[in-house]
Amino acid sequence: MNPAIDETTDTGYQRPRDPMEIWLARQWQDVLGFTVGIRENFFGVGGNSLDAARVINAVLLEFGVQLPLNVLTDHPTVERLATQLRDHAEQLSGPLVAIQDGTGPPLFLVHSDDGQIGPYCRLAYALGEEFTVYGFQAAGLYSDAEPARTVTAMADAYVDAVRAVRPTGPYLLGGAGIGAAIAYEMAVRLDDVRLVAALPDTDSWSQELPGNPDLSGILASWQERDLVPPDVAPEFVARTLRVWRANRDAVRDWRPSPYSGPLDVFDRPPITALPATVVQRTHECGTDGRLVDALRELIG
């Protein structure tokens, strides 16, 4: 739900919107050898029956669900196949989500205030398939877990997850909104950090929330804008609002730790005053793809 990132990387690609669609899109990338959008037909882009069997086997290994052999004939897009598996989505509720498998050092992108990482799928796609990208989603979005209450608590948890998949650097970190603050604190805790990027962020719905929000109305608005899948229940809105409020409180109370490395700021200044030792490098991006070009140059 981050139109700022979506606009700066608008290629016509229809990105995944939740962890299940992200997971399925990665399986298709692995099987087909290239990235596809959520509404592209599996067989229409070159998949065959053997490729379909590989996807079905991946589902069995990950979720313990045996799908019928003709499932991709009946549900030939990521969007439609995800509807058959979303009851198992809680297995994908952990903080670290693999978005794109590439060949270089991974870029770890931390969720914005709403806790979502879907917009980073479009950014990963625009960067190119050679870039490895992970996203951190907030606790409590896809389970009944309580949201984290402080920036430092999230940074501690996310650093542990980073080290589990990449014990040593170099580390490439970034995030929008509160994600920039969390990425900053993660950089404090990690060695050999090559990038900390504060990405542009616009919460398109956060200014629309009344005191007693109409969950069904908000969900209908999100679905109309294709921000969430069509089979999402209003309870997801309630969890998202709980995460959003917790994140807003967390960033309000955040006091940045000392850090001597640079911070690359895209378009907007940091969300709070940073120590004088931090070198802030500003990049003007607009909406013409310069964000992607600048990130490619910084990542190298």
Highest mean pLDDT among 5-9, 21-25, 286-290, 291-295: 21-25
Positive/negative CA dihedral, 47, 51, 53, 59: negative
pLDDT computed for residue 275 by the predictor: 84
Contact at 8 Å (CB) between 116 and 229?
Answer: no
21 has a pLDDT exceeding 70: yes
Give CA–CA dist 187/192, Å, rounded: 9
Read off the pLDDT of residues 65-97 as tens digits, 9 standing for 90 and up: 999 999 999 999 999 999 999 988 888 888 999
Burial class (CB in 10 A: 0-12, 13-18, 19+), 207: exposed
User: Which residues sit opposite 283 in a β-bridge?
Assistant: 266
Tell which residue, 153, 136, 144, 140, has the closest CA to residue 250.
153
At 48 the pLDDT is: 96
Residue 6's pLDDT band (boundaries 50, 70, 90)?
Answer: very low
Structural contact between residues 24 and 89, judged by C-beta atoms closer than 8 angstroms: no
**CA geometry: angle 101, 105, 111, nearest 5 deg:** 70
- The verdict on pTM exceeding 0.85 is yes
Q: What pLDDT is recorded for position 7?
A: 42
Average per-residue pLDDT for the chain? 88
State the pLDDT at residue 80: 96
Q: Give the closest residue to 24 by CA, choosing from 92, 104, 123.
A: 92
Q: 3-state DSSP call for residue 197?
A: strand
Report whether 41 contacts 49 (CB < 8 A).
no
